[in-house]
Amino acid sequence: MGAIFKKELSEEQLNELFHCDEKCFEFLAEVKWEHGFTCRKCGNKNFCPGKTPHSRRCTKCKTEESAAAGTIFHNCKFPVHKAFYIAYNVCKGKEDLSSYELARRLSLRQMTCWNFKTKISHAIQEMDSLSENERGSIQKIFK
């Protein structure tokens, strides 16, 4: 699980991302493939759209990669824009919202929020042990 964020998010982007999944995937895809697409399996550079929003499918070996693959939002069991909201709140570290408060605001189960919060915190700790270059940083984009 690496950080794929290498770009700072503007206030406008944040607000957009928090409102729908579509925008979140678009953002993830944009950052992930900013230097172009390369198939993880065969190295081919050509792709066509995949089945899920903003995913890409290799034209050679047909391997599909979702926009969230390799990020903390991969296999998220609840709407990804809600996950962005939690990540934002954990990363900016201004007000420490409890998992109860997050659950209330996002209409999610408290346990779901707690689990994801924990996951983000661990990811940040992991990133702290990375070098400046490797970091890319979820903290940076959510500042």
The one among 3, 17, 58, 67 contacting Zn ion by CB under 5 A: 58
By the rule CB under 5 A, 130 interacts with Zn ion: no
Instruction: Give the phi and the psi of residue 16 in degrees, each rounded to 5.
Output: -65, -45
The whole-angstrom separation of Cα 49 and Cα 56 is 5
Q: Which range, of 12-20, 55-63, 71-79, 117-125, touches Zn ion by CB under 5 A?
A: 55-63
By the rule CB under 5 A, 138 interacts with Zn ion: no
By the rule CB under 5 A, 60 interacts with Zn ion: yes
The one among 13, 44, 52, 110 contacting Zn ion by CB under 5 A: 44
By the rule CB under 5 A, 38 interacts with Zn ion: no
The whole-angstrom separation of Cα 85 and Cα 102 is 9
By the rule CB under 5 A, 115 interacts with Zn ion: no
Task: Give Cβ neighbours of residue 124 (< 8 Å, ≥ 6 apart).
Answer: 90, 91, 138, 139
The neighbour count for residue 131, using CB atoms within 10 Å, is 6
By the rule CB under 5 A, 39 interacts with Zn ion: yes
Smallest distance, Å, CB 73 to Zn ion?
A: 23
